[in-house]
Amino acid sequence: MNASQESAEITVRRAVPVFRIFDVPKAHDFYVGYLGCAIDWEHRFEPGMPLYTQVSRGGLVLHLSEHHGDATPGSAVHVELTGVRALHAELAAKDYPYLRPGLEEDEFGAGLLLTDPFGNRLRFNEPHPEGQRN
């Protein structure tokens, strides 16, 4: 089977990163209150068990898990977007005492690095327009 035959049979809909969390109120404060995500759903096998949940904002979809072994603390995800300056301004206007990220420019574009309360990193990057590299 060649590559074109494989692509006709397999369709990847999306990849969803899983981030390890240790404290649900802190996770909600960061992902919902600060980053502006919505809670799409939450799951526990029974009351008192660890939480597994999905949060999203536009095309950004993340699974957050309290389950040991689901993910490694300190993971990272690269998020390509347009409007990184607007996101930076939105976040800078919020009263979130644990993070004041700067906007960075490099050869890849404009970037914003956020670190959640559990050491996971979200690297937002708006690429330079075609042919406009620094």
**pLDDT of 3 above 60:** no
Taken in order of first residue, the domains within the chain and their CATH numbers are 14-127 (3.10.180.10)
Residue 6: per-residue pLDDT: 57
**pLDDT of 73 above 60:** yes
Contact 125, 111 (CB under 8 A): yes
The predicted-structure confidence for 23-53, as pLDDT tens digits, reads as follows 999 999 999 999 999 999 999 999 999 999 9
Q: Name, in order, each residue with C-beta under 8 angstroms of 14's C-beta and a sequence gap of 6 or more.
A: 61
Q: What is the pTM for the complete model shown?
A: 0.88
For the chain, percent of residues with pLDDT exceeding 90: 84
Diameter of the chain by CA atoms? Answer: 55
Report d(CA 20, CA 74) in Å as an integer. 8
Query: pLDDT-derived band of residue 129, with 50, 70 and 90 as boundaries?
Result: confident
Q: Are strands 60-65 and 18-20 parallel, antiparallel or unpaired?
A: parallel
Instruction: Give strand ranges (E) for 66-118.
Output: 76-80, 103-106, 109-115
- Pinpoint the alpha helices (H) of 32-106: 84-92
